[in-house]
């Protein structure tokens, strides 16, 4: 055995919580993460390279975003120390009680999760956008809810972001980094406060996002846990009472073997499902995994509708990516349950010019001033509103491994069988509401043809595949994430969530991991 007793595969919301809490209980923890350890100086938005992850050639291309195409469904995921927290939009929100009434093992209840939700909120220092920092999108959301006669459904969303209550849009050059207040957080990491630069999905240049490397993982490391980036686990086999992991060191380009008494698979909904499918069906090292492996997957009903306004500034490139929601998860619209959000996106040109202006070689020069002013005023999409949101669809997707008919000598590919009818009612409800909100506020929108004609979706919120349940007949793991039939082998991440949550899932994933870690000796 190595110097570690617990190996955690993946460092996102499931993996980081497990690493921290098991290290607190005295476990000797090793975290293997396929992605890099990113920092503000290495983000692709700064270096202009390493944007994408390529699952077929990860040694060659191990960048920021893993985008997978599965026919009618595509999935966006992060690859990083800190998992999806690096790329995500920071919304850290609890799922409502109604989402826990069906489909879960008996030991998981909304009431039982409350202390765990609270612990996550504390660790991620969750806050709401201060009143003086509402964005144009926040105001549009509020006005739209009022205009359809539902003002009570509007609220700003809780976010894992550090805000400075004194920051405001009226400051001189408000997005300049000098307005970010830098302090040391509880875990000894330096963080700034939000300057509304709009770059959340590309990495926060001032570390105002409370990404997992700055809290849960920092605490785990302080307790002796080791994190190895660019280490991709290829398969797991029982060995000597524990498990042997076959790992590809992507940096060195070599294969390694590691032994551990306890393994926590936390590679995300797609990653964990694929890894276990390969163990069961390709390498045949874990042949006793449940027949339900790969089943019960959901896209969480994510949907986006762009809308245009002639007479209203929306400025989607300014402020945190998502700021507010209009909540219809109660099913009051013909039974469709959904959660409308505003969506922002980074201004790439403005970013580039702003960065040149901040370069010490030109700073202070007249050119720097011109570029900086242009960067602040460049907002090519200022009248575009990306209406976004999630919907509680049915968890009917099935992942499996398939032979490539055009290249049978290559390893089997991960395939998804997804029937749009499982999502149709909920997603259509959300799409129709986007149009109603646009009409009520004087904008123009049309449902994207990708959905209208082709029933294609893209999701950043994959859930399920290794669903938790009360038995192997209905799921893959128990309520603590332990794999049925394999002692001390756990799965804990979005893959264990057995139902669509209908809103942003990271807080629930982390809360489930908190509960599991609390119950594991």
Ligand X SMILES: Cc1cc2nc3c(=O)[nH]c(=O)nc-3n(C[C@H](O)[C@H](O)[C@H](O)COP(=O)(O)OP(=O)(O)OC[C@H]3O[C@@H](n4cnc5c(N)ncnc54)[C@H](O)[C@@H]3O)c2cc1C
233 binds ligand X per the rule CB under 6 A:
yes
Considering only residues 35, 198, 296, 301, which one is a binding residue for ligand SF4 as defined by CB under 6 A?
Answer: 198
Residues 289-348 that bind ligand SF4 (CB under 6 A): 319-320
Size of the site for ligand SF4 (CB under 6 A): 14
Residues 322-341 that bind ligand X (CB under 6 A): 322
Stretch of 33-41, 256-264, 410-418, 448-456 contacting ligand X, by CB under 6 A: 33-41
Q: What is the CA radius of gyration of the chain?
A: 22
Q: Which of 332, 307, 498 is nearest to 429 (CA)?
A: 332
Residues 104-123 that bind ligand SF4 (CB under 6 A): none
Least distance from C-beta 444 to ligand X, angstroms?
Answer: 26
3-state secondary structure of 514: helix
Least distance from C-beta 9 to ligand SF4, angstroms?
Answer: 28
In this structure, what token pair is assigned to residue 225? Answer: 């846990």
Residue carrying structure tokens 């050639």? 57
242 binds ligand X per the rule CB under 6 A:
no
Tell me the C-alpha distance between 70 and 61, whole Å. Answer: 20
Q: Which of 387, 269, 397 is nearest to 328 (CA)?
A: 387
Considering only residues 180, 232, 317, 318, which one is a binding residue for ligand X as defined by CB under 6 A?
Answer: 232
209 binds ligand SF4 per the rule CB under 6 A:
yes
Q: Which of 491, 502, 501, 500 is nearest to 468 (CA)?
A: 491
Q: Is the Cβ–Cβ distance between 327 and 430 less than 8 Å? A: no
Size of the site for ligand X (CB under 6 A): 41
Q: Which is nearer to ligand X, 9 or 214 (CB)?
A: 9
Q: C-alpha angle with apex 86: 141 to 19, nearest 5 degrees?
A: 120
Stretch of 7-15, 278-286, 309-317, 450-458 contacting ligand X, by CB under 6 A: 7-15
**Residue 506 binding target from ligand SF4, ligand X, none, CB below 5 to 8 Å by type:** ligand X
> Distance of CA 477 to CAs 153, 195, 359, 427, 512, Å?
36, 42, 51, 28, 13
Considering only residues 23, 75, 157, 195, which one is a binding residue for ligand SF4 as defined by CB under 6 A?
Answer: 195
Going through 253-404 in order, the beta strands assigned E by DSSP cover 254-260, 262-265, 305-308, 324-333, 336-342, 384-391, 398-402
199 binds ligand SF4 per the rule CB under 6 A:
yes
**Residue 213 binding target from ligand X, ligand SF4, none, CB below 5 to 8 Å by type:** none
Per-residue binding string, ligand X, 472-511, x by CB under 6 A, is ---------------------xx---------xxx--x--
204 binds ligand X per the rule CB under 6 A:
no
Within 268-394, residue ranges assigned H as helices are 268-277, 348-358, 366-377
Q: Judging by beta carbons within 10 Å of its beta carbon (0-12, 13-18, 19+), is residue 94 exposed, middle or buried?
A: buried
Residues 145-164 that bind ligand SF4 (CB under 6 A): 161
Q: Is the Cβ–Cβ distance between 158 and 126 less than 8 Å? A: yes
Least distance from C-beta 74 to ligand SF4, angstroms?
Answer: 24
129 binds ligand SF4 per the rule CB under 6 A:
no
179 binds ligand SF4 per the rule CB under 6 A:
no
In this structure, what token pair is assigned to residue 114? Answer: 């409350």
Tell me the C-alpha distance between 94 and 506, whole Å. Answer: 9
Within 385-520, residue ranges assigned H as helices are 421-440, 449-452, 506-519
Q: Which 8-state DSSP code applies to residue 495?
A: G
Q: Which 8-state DSSP code applies to residue 35?
A: S
Q: Which is nearer to ligand X, 271 or 354 (CB)?
A: 271
**Residue 267 binding target from ligand X, ligand SF4, none, CB below 5 to 8 Å by type:** ligand X
Stretch of 30-38, 388-396, 441-449, 477-485 contacting ligand X, by CB under 6 A: 30-38
Q: Which is nearer to ligand X, 14 or 443 (CB)?
A: 14
Q: Which of 62, 57, 345, 336 is nearest to 197 (CA)?
A: 345
Q: Is the Cβ–Cβ distance between 265 and 491 less than 8 Å? A: yes
**Residue 10 binding target from ligand X, ligand SF4, none, CB below 5 to 8 Å by type:** ligand X
Considering only residues 65, 108, 194, 250, which one is a binding residue for ligand SF4 as defined by CB under 6 A?
Answer: 194
Tell me the C-alpha distance between 256 and 427, whole Å. Answer: 44
Tell me the C-alpha distance between 53 and 76, whole Å. Answer: 10
Tell me the C-alpha distance between 217 and 18, whole Å. Answer: 9
Stretch of 8-16, 100-108, 202-210, 388-396 contacting ligand SF4, by CB under 6 A: 202-210
Least distance from C-beta 207 to ligand SF4, angstroms?
Answer: 8
**Residue 194 binding target from ligand SF4, ligand X, none, CB below 5 to 8 Å by type:** ligand SF4
Considering only residues 79, 95, 113, 208, which one is a binding residue for ligand SF4 as defined by CB under 6 A?
Answer: 208
3-state secondary structure of 44: helix
Considering only residues 7, 23, 30, 35, which one is a binding residue for ligand X as defined by CB under 6 A?
Answer: 35
Residues that bind ligand X (CB under 6 A): 9-15, 32-35, 76-80, 83-84, 87-91, 201, 232-233, 266-269, 271, 275, 322, 460-461, 493-494, 504-506, 509
Report the interface residues with ligand SF4, using CB under 6 A.
Answer: 161, 194-200, 204, 206, 208-209, 319-320
């Amino acid at each position: 055995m190595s110097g570690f007793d617990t190996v955690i595969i993946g460092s996102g919301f499931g993996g980081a919580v497990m690493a921290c809490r098991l290290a607190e209980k005295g476990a000797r923890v090793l975290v293997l993460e396929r992605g890099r350890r990113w920092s503000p100086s290495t983000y692709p938005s700064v270096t202009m390279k390493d944007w994408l992850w390529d699952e077929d050639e990860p040694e060659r291309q191990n960048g920021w975003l893993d985008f997978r195409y599965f026919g009618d469904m595509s999935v966006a995921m992060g690859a990083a120390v800190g998992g999806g927290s690096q790329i995500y939009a920071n919304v850290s929100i609890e799922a409502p009680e109604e989402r826990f009434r069906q489909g879960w093992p008996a030991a998981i209840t909304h009431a039982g999760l409350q202390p765990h939700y609270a612990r996550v909120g504390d660790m991620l220092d969750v806050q709401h956008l201060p009143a003086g920092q509402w964005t144009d999108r926040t105001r549009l959301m509020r006005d739209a809810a009022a205009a359809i006669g539902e003002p009570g459904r509007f609220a700003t969303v809780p976010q894992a972001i550090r805000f400075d209550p004194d920051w405001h849009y009226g400051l001189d050059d408000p997005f300049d980094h000098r307005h970010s207040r830098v302090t040391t957080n509880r875990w000894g990491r330096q963080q700034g406060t939000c300057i509304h630069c709009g770059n959340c999905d590309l990495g926060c240049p001032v570390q105002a996002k409370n990404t997992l490397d700055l809290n849960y993982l920092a605490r785990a490391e302080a307790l002796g846990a080791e994190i190895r980036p660019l280490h991709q686990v290829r398969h797991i086999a029982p060995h000597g009472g524990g498990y042997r992991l076959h790992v590809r060191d992507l940096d060195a380009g070599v294969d390694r073997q590691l032994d551990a008494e306890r393994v926590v698979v936390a590679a995300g909904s797609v990653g964990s499902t694929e890894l276990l499918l390969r163990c069961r069906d390709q390498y045949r090292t874990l042949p006793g995994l449940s027949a339900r492996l790969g089943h019960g997957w959901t896209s969480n009903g994510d949907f986006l509708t762009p809308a245009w306004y002639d007479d209203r500034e929306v400025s989607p490139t300014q402020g945190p990516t998502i700021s507010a929601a209009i909540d219809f998860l109660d099913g009051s619209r013909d039974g469709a349950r959904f959660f409308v959000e505003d969506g922002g996106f980074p201004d790439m040109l403005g970013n580039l010019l702003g960065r040149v202006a901040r370069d010490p070689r030109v700073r202070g020069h007249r050119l720097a001033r011109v570029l900086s002013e242009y960067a602040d005023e460049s907002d090519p999409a200022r009248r575009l509103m990306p209406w976004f949101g999630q919907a509680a669809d049915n968890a009917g997707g099935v992942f499996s491994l398939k032979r490539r008919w055009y290249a049978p000598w290559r390893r089997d590919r991960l395939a998804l069988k997804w029937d749009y009818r499982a999502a149709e009612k909920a997603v259509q409800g959300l799409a129709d509401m986007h149009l109603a909100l646009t009409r009520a506020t004087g904008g123009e929108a049309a449902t994207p043809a990708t959905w209208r004609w082709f029933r294609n979706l893209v999701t950043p919120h994959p859930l399920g595949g290794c669903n938790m349940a009360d038995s192997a007949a209905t799921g893959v793991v128990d309520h603590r994430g332990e794999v049925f039939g394999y002692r001390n082998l756990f799965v804990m991440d979005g893959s264990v969530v057995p139902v669509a949550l209908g809103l942003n899932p990271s807080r629930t994933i982390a809360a489930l991991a908190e509960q599991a870690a609390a119950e594991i000796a």
